[in-house]
Amino acid sequence: MNVRAGLTASVRGLALALLSMAFSLVLFCLSVVSIALVVVGLGVVTTPWIMRAVRANATFRRGLAGEWSGVEIPVPYRTPPRFESGPVGMLQRCQWLLKDPATWRDLLWLIVDPIAGFLLGIFAAALIAYGAWGFVLAAGVWRPMRDVGYWYGFIPVDSQLTAFTAAGLGAFLIVAGLRYDPALVRAHGLLTKTFLAPSQERALELRIERLTESRADAVDVSAAELRRIERDLHDGAQARLVAMGMSLGTIEHLVRTDPDKAVQMLAETRKFSAEALDELRNLVRGIHPPVLAERGLGDAVRALALRSHIKTEVGIESVGRLPAPVEAAAYFAVSEMLTNVAKHAEAQRIWIDMRHEDGMLRITVTDDGKGGADPKRGTGLTGIERRLSAFDGILALNSPPGGPTTATIELPCELLAEETQQAH
């Protein structure tokens, strides 16, 4: 039993109960009045403003469900179209909002939240608070109330003995609250998801939109990668091979006239060929590292850790061979993360945890650096997100100022069968 988690859940339950009454009930009353006034024209002006407040409240509650209950709820709202200006535009906006199914799901939530949501929240708070009151009674507070026939739960408190019995019941309630309050807060989050999550039709639309965006990002990433390869070949290996060809032509003429000079130039050409070969190997490694193709993602990540200038520990569980595109995406994502840590984090140690369970590859990279990482301030993390989105993967980042920083990759995929692994 986690005492801190239980106390936190109790406070959160009280906050959710207060939010239910302070916002949901008030917004519902305002919404009903505003929609009723649409028929006389006044509601055309007020409804968009009130619906904006309703949506802001719903979005806030979705965020609380994710943060407090671990229940992630996508935002279901469609992007508004362009409306005309003036009264016609206000009428169009009002019609668009009232035709959106998400609006009515939000309004339904405003009915449910002050009832079921309030009861779940207040019950989570009351278990510990009412339990503590039993100890207050045992401390002697029952005496001024002995003539009014005070009951604590099912216990009539009229003597010190019954007050101690109330304390015993209070201890039971406190233990129950510490044990079950987190579950009650999670139940509140699930209730929120039932009404504020996208409908099945809207969830499918969001899925299609995300796949469309990820496909466009994948095309952009592939095009950028091809341009990089072309540039590296043109500026590196190709230039050296051209220089080698010119040197060999010169050597051909010097063999008869100046053998010593020809030998010297042959040595330089041999050096150029070795450098060109190294550049080609590095280029191939950047496209698809040989260790990744030969030994799989686990050993490839261990190789990255060995090459890191920062002490890196790697823990791998239940990760066999995965589809080659998934392995490549995960490998380069981890590589980019290690590069970011080395450049910006000022870290002394890095921990990499990788496992495959429930059809999901999860890789967590943690460092003890200064924290404060933000995808909006650089292209490295954004590039990782774009690479992962092509496989419907996500990057979750927690990097408070002062550290530590934890980045988690999740990629949906299945392990390859043994026969496929051997062929792989």
Closest CA to 101 of 117, 78, 83: 78
Q: Which residue has the higher pLDDT, 105 or 294?
A: 105
| Structure confidence at residue 269 (pLDDT) | 79
Pairwise pLDDT comparison (149 vs 349), residue with the higher score: 349
| pLDDT at 419 > cutoff 50 | no
Q: Which two tokens stand for residue 186?
A: 């999670």
**Higher-pLDDT residue of 222, 274:** 274
Count CB-CB contacts under 10 A for residue 60.
12
What's this model's pTM, rounded to 2 decimal places?
0.58
- Domain residue spans in the chain? 3-196, 207-287, 294-423
Given a cut of 90, whether residue 118 has pLDDT beyond it is yes
Looking at CATH, the fold of the domain delimited by 294-423 is given as: Heat Shock Protein 90 (3.30.565)
> How far does the chain reach from its first CA to its final CA, in angstroms?
47
- Comparison of pLDDT for 392 and 159, the residue scoring more: 159
pLDDT in tens, 171-180: 999 999 999 9
Helix (H) / strand (E) containing 53: helix 42-64
Q: What pLDDT does 107 receive?
A: 92
pLDDT tens-digit series, residues 228-269: 666 666 666 666 677 777 777 787 777 777 777 878 887 877
- Name the residue among 118, 102, 126, 122 with its Cα closest to residue 52: 102
What integer pLDDT is reported at residue 378 of this predicted model? 60
Under a CB-based contact definition with an 8 Å cutoff, are residues 411 and 355 in contact? no
| 172 or 147, which is more confident | 172
Task: Work out the number of other CB atoms within 10 angstroms of the CB of residue 309.
Answer: 8
pLDDT in tens, 326-348: 888 888 888 888 888 888 888 89
pLDDT digits (tens, 9 = 90+) for 200-236: 777 777 676 666 665 666 556 666 666 766 666 666 6
Beta pairing partners, 151: 156
Helices (H), 197-296: 200-232, 238-257, 259-287, 290-295
Residue 79 vs residues 31, 100, 203: alpha-carbon distances, Å = 21, 11, 14
Query: Count of CB atoms within 10 A of residue 12's CB?
Result: 22
How long is the chain? 424
pLDDT of 59: 92
Query: Which of 68-77, 123-132, 198-207, 212-221 has the largest mean confidence?
Result: 123-132
Task: Report percent pLDDT > 70 for the chain.
Answer: 85
